[in-house]
Amino acid sequence: MAVEPVMPKSWRLESKPHKFCPGCGHGIALKALGLAIDELGIQDRTVFGCDIGCSLLAWDFFNMDTVQTHHGRTTPVIYGVKRANPELICIAYMGDGGGYAIGAQHLVNAAARNELITVVLVNNTQYAMTGGQMAPTTLPGQKTETTPYGRDVLTAGYPMRGPEMIAEITPDGAYVARGTVARSRQLGNMLVRALENQLSGRGFSFVEVLATCPTNWRTNAQQTWSFLENTVENYYPVGELKIPLSDPEEEM
Ligand code: SF4
């Protein structure tokens, strides 16, 4: 008997199957986000913003109000929406280029100001839509289109550890975590807690999602998961980096 796939209620079914490559991590991240939105029952009051890059393929993913922004500008567009109507739940969805390169100034300042939004940033260690060039998250020694001999940290610097930085610059009340598409249930719990942080008015919430890009990694299925779980997760530890002091679960 065929098993029917479970689709989040907040997904827009007419736009499925989605447009990502087979094996892409975005679909898993967006499913975890959709299920988190379903669990909290916030679909009717949520605004979803997505960036340029492969994350823009999420523009028709949800049956919710959605805006697709200029590259790197998803964070300020989304906190502009939030400031205009604080009753809305506002989510900014982007890749590592949009958040840590062209949009880094917006992300840093929104985090430092403790803007009441939720940022979900997909880290697949390179610029995916443009063909796999080095990004701020490319690992030391990792080969990309622009680092054919591997990233040399002496000339290209070290990768950016976004959640670690954001945990340092945010005030108490922020929620910061790093999840992985290899553990979607854990990722889903992080996304629920991030959205709850916004719902409760505690502060900024940020979840980085380690994700697969077999197209640009040039890996088969086994190599893809091995690279994610054994190499990427080793460099970028998964877990919660900052939990609000007033988090009810921590007080238990
Ligand atoms: S290029 Fe990579 S990140 Fe973009 S859709 Fe394909 S697998 Fe996903």
| Residue-by-residue pLDDT tens, the chain, 252 positions | 666 678 999 999 999 888 999 999 999 999 999 999 999 999 999 999 999 999 999 999 999 999 999 999 999 999 999 999 999 999 999 999 999 999 999 999 999 999 999 999 999 999 999 999 999 999 999 999 999 999 999 999 999 999 999 999 999 999 999 999 999 999 999 999 999 999 999 999 999 999 999 999 999 999 999 999 999 999 999 999 999 976 555 544
Give residue 191's pLDDT: 98
Residue 157: left (phi > 0), alpha (psi -120 to 50), or beta? left
The pTM of this model reads 0.95
Mutate to test the pocket of ligand 1, among 210, 215, 224 (most ligand atoms within 8 A of CB): 215
Atom 8 of ligand 1, residue of closest alpha carbon: 24
Give residue 3's pLDDT: 67
Mutate to test the pocket of ligand 1, among 30, 54, 130, 227 (most ligand atoms within 8 A of CB): 54
* Domain boundaries along the sequence of the chain: 16-251
Please identify, in words, the CATH class of the domain defined by 16-251.
alpha beta
In angstroms, what is the span from residue 213 Cα to ligand 1's centroid?
5
